[in-house]
Amino acid sequence: MVKEINILWVDDEIDLLRPYILFLEEKGYNLVTAANGQDAIRIVERERFDLIFLDENMPGLSGLETLDRIKKVVPSVPVIMITKNEEEDIMDEALGSKISDYLIKPVNPKQILLTIKKNIDTRRLITAKTTSNYQMQFGQIGLQINTAATFTDWTDIYSRLVFWERELEKSRIEGMDEILQMQKQDANKEFCKFVKANYFEWFSDHAVQKPLMSPNLFARKIFPLLESHKVVVVLIDNLRFDQWKIIEEEIHDYFTAEKEELYCSILPTATQYARNSIFAGLMPMEIDQLYPEYWIQEEEAGSKNPFEKELLQIQMQRAGIRSSLNYEKISNQKSGKKIVENYKNLLNYDLSVLVYNFVDMLSHARTEMDMIKELAYDEASYRSITTSWFQHSYLLELLKLLSGYNIKLVVTTDHGSVRVKNPVKVIGDRNTSANLRYKMGKNLNYNPKVVFEVQKPELIHLPKSNVSSTYIFSYENDYMVYPNNYNYFVNYYRNTFQHGGVSLEEMLIPVIILLPNA
């Protein structure tokens, strides 16, 4: 049902405007009138309006005085000032008072109608068009989900779902978001089947359609750029594709994407595994075997990624890359500010790699802090916090500065995250890994029908603590909980953003090559 549009028209000669009011009512608008500013303020205090027409020249409270008081009551409602006076100071004063538009008397019905459409109906028309377009695409996406056979099929499906998720969110269409989320659930269910059926094959010697994965990221996407440009890599930990699309909008005045694609994070989709693999150019098992001094075991305390620079240097040496390297990890405002203050230092190196940890910290804070839980209670609000962070971040300042130089910028990540909803019981000993989306241990007890189990980790090139170690990974939006204090932990972790398992959001992640606009 189309929402009724309520309009208030305030004019001391309101009786003379009766033909205009009848014209608008015939067009389907609901009109309420007031003959002076005082009456208008009382009406606004008790009724809801989508638009207000306000005469500038009225006895008693003037239009501008009325405008000021109306804005204190309903600051977001568009106000159209109607005036006989074309003097510049009157218009400046009106515009300074945050009017949405103004009309010069005498006005005609078509002017009024055009103003309404510009200030109200544009959003309604866009909303209707967006709804119609998604309804047309719904069947096509559903068919694509049911017939997807390759990794490229899935990157296309996920890209389309993220596009429509953001379009429907912008249009604030009630009900349609729920339909999209159901389609996204269907996609995740089928994607998990696809991963289960193909993941082992991707590590076999005769793999035909192996996607770009974590250990090949630098060799395939970054090292070739060094032949002709200085390169700055910004790796934002735990960045989902929908969050990248936010960043893209914010930097479009400074950089243009030369190439955007989704690649595949290895399992587990966790920093210890995926990011070490990216920098080493090796799978975790090979890192453990070849460079045990740089691999931190699950049961060991402390950071699991303290040797990223060393691993990248070794990868460059293996590839015969002689380019100079700068590596920085930014985990707080102080280090972010320092990079901005010394940004020209980055230009002294052929390759600068900057690792930003904010999004990952946000994800963990979302789990542990009640205030952040309230602010990021779903995907839309999670994106909103990402927007706010980036708009006020030193990273945005840095990118603006770098846009003035002849570089290539690469924005990427190590894995994404998914909002978990469905608890799955798992039993393990004290040495079992603590992550909610995957477990590694030797005495795991679980239902094999609800997890992706890997009883021989060496087949997917993962290290193991002992000969009987097994890995299990959660599907879709599941999360693993021990039977002890089960109800407490179920409620504590439900609707938090986690990573480590199998889902579109965790595994299909962005790598973008950008050129400065300058």
Q: Provide the pLDDT confidence category of residue 72 given band limits of 50, 70 and 90.
A: confident
In angstroms, what CA-CA distances link 19 with 106, 148, 268? 14, 59, 69
Question: What local confidence, expressed as pLDDT, does residue 369 receive?
Answer: 57
Res 97 pLDDT > 60: no
Q: Which two tokens stand for residue 105?
A: 């008397």
CA torsion 263-269-271-274 (nearest 10°) is: -50
Residue 205 lies in a domain: no
Distance, CA of 208 to chain centre = 32
Are residues 493 and 440 both part of a single domain? yes
* 355 is a domain residue: yes
Per-residue pLDDT tens for 388-422?
Answer: 889 999 999 999 999 999 999 999 999 999 999 99
Please check the confidence at residue 371 and state whether its pLDDT lies above 60: no
Count how many residues are written for the chain.
Answer: 518
Residue 116, in any domain of the structure: no
**Are residues 266 and 369 located together in one domain of the fold?**
yes
Residues 264 and 345 in one domain: yes
Residues 428, 389 share a domain: no
Kindly tell me if the per-residue pLDDT of 372 is higher than 70.
Answer: no
∠ CA 206-209-211 to the nearest 5 degrees? 115
- For residue 361, the Cα-to-chain-centroid distance in whole angstroms is 15
CA distance 123 to 111: 18
309 and 237 fall within a common domain: yes
112 occurs within a structural domain: no
- 210 assigned to some structural domain: no
289: enclosing H helix or E strand: helix 284-290
pLDDT at residue 233, rounded to an integer: 98
Averaged over 448-456, what is the pLDDT? 97
Asked if residue 204 belongs to a domain, the reply is no
Helix orientation angle between 151-171 and 241-250, rounded to the nearest 10 degrees = 60
451 is in which domain, residue-wise? 419-497
Residue 105 has pLDDT above 90, yes or no: no
Residue 297 lies in a domain: yes
Same domain, 63 and 154: no
- The CA distances from residue 30 to 9, 22, 23, 322, 346, in Å, are 11, 10, 11, 72, 60
pLDDT at 156: 97
Same domain, 409 and 446: no
In a domain, residue 398? The reply is yes
| Domain identity same for 10 and 74 | yes
Query: Could you tell me the CATH number of the domain that includes residue 228?
Result: 3.40.720.10
Could you give the number of structural domains in the chain? 4
Tell me: do 316 and 377 sit in the same domain: yes
**In terms of domains, do 454 and 486 share one?**
yes
Q: How far is CA 38 from CA 33, 59, 93, 151, 256, in A?
A: 12, 11, 20, 65, 52
Per-residue pLDDT reduced to its tens digit, 466-508: 888 999 999 999 999 999 889 999 999 999 899 999 999 999 9
Model confidence, pTM: 0.80
Using CA atoms, how far apart are residues 327 and 58, in angstroms rounded to an integer?
Answer: 66
* 236 and 344 co-located in one domain: yes
β-strands 351-356, 325-330 pairing: parallel
Where do we find the tokens 């070794």?
314
Task: Give the separation between CA 318 and CA 73, rounded to whole angstroms.
Answer: 67
Q: Are residues 368 and 345 in the same domain?
A: yes
- The pair phi, psi for residue 240, each rounded to 5°, is -80, 165
